Amino acid sequence: VLCALAPAAVPPLADLPVWPPAGPFAVYAAMAFAAEPDRATRRWLPVLALALAVLLPAEWPGAAFLVLRTEVVLALAVLYGLYAETGARLRRALEERAERVERERLAGEMHDVVTHRVSRMVLRAGALADQAADERARAAAEELRATGRAALDELRHMSVLLRRGTGEGFDLGLPLPDLRSLVSESAFRGVPVELVVSGVPVPVPGAVGRTAYRVVQEALANVREHAPGTDARVEVRYLPGVVRVSVRNTRPEDAFAPPGLGGEGLNEVSQWVELAGGTLKAGPVEDGGFLVTATLPTN
């Protein structure tokens, strides 16, 4: 403004290191502390305005070198401001990631501890309802079972909110969990696994996704324990209204080794699948291996 309106009021430019002296601080602040760094117009407009303003006294005697020196200092201030803003954004991202990891850890612990207990209560209540001779006892058992199922749904919703860190409402569907970590873990422990996914993946209820993951996890663990040295194949097929998850292993070298899930493990897996509204089939196949197939609803 002084250069344009009152040139006589400007001090001798040859005696100054930069002009204006506050310019580098201004452009640094515009780069480092922009409220919306993604909005390029708002971020760069004051920088461009100041850079153009510095060019005004370029034709004055002795001011050309000062202008060039000032523009270089402004450019360095811009670069340093960008560096500072990028570092601050990276630190914020790391802090948010640490908070998200902690939420996921808490959600996982809550799910593993509480869901297992409540699931057993629901199963016991269902067995009591089927075996009770008294109508009142049967009704009470059914009510207890329904309450337990509702508690499991609410726990799933809370787990989803903790994992995603949003308060915008309950999640109505989650994609099937990624099974590649289980495949990698099994291969690392000496059982190579082939993963095959067919069909069009669709969102599934949280209980279905967790059940499918646990079925594959338990089946592969039993293959490693009871049929070491064999190959395994995990297949996920998306069909209309259902998703079918199967784990199959080849014939074990030891013909007397149990090739698949034991009685207790098979019973527990069957309970998981039943709670999710699906069906489970498990048994030996013609080539001497073992096949576990869980069919779960997608809606």
56-114 residue pLDDT tens: 777 777 778 888 888 999 999 999 999 999 998 888 888 887 777 776 666 666 666 67
20-39: burial string, b at 16+ Cβ within 10 Å, e else:
beebbebbbebbbebeebee
DSSP state of 200: -
Q: Hey, what are 299's tokens?
A: 């809606």
3-state SS, residue 66: helix
CATH of domain 180-297: 3.30.565.10
CA-to-CA dists, residue 113 to 7, 35, 170, angstroms: 77, 43, 21
Give the pLDDT band of residue 42 (cuts 50, 70, 90).
Answer: confident
Quickly tell me which residue has 């967790």 as its tokens.
210
What H or E segment, with its residue span, contains residue 237?
A: strand 232-239
For the whole model, what pTM was predicted? Answer: 0.47
Distance CA 190, CA 192 (A): 6
Confidence (pLDDT) at 221: 86
Report the 10 Å Cβ neighbour count for 258: 15
10-32 residue pLDDT tens: 766 666 788 788 899 999 999 98
158-181 residue pLDDT tens: 666 555 544 333 344 456 777 887
Distance CA 267, CA 289 (A): 19
248-285 residue pLDDT tens: 998 877 654 454 555 556 777 888 888 888 999 988 88
Among candidate residues 218, 214, 224, 216, the one with its CA nearest the CA of residue 247: 216
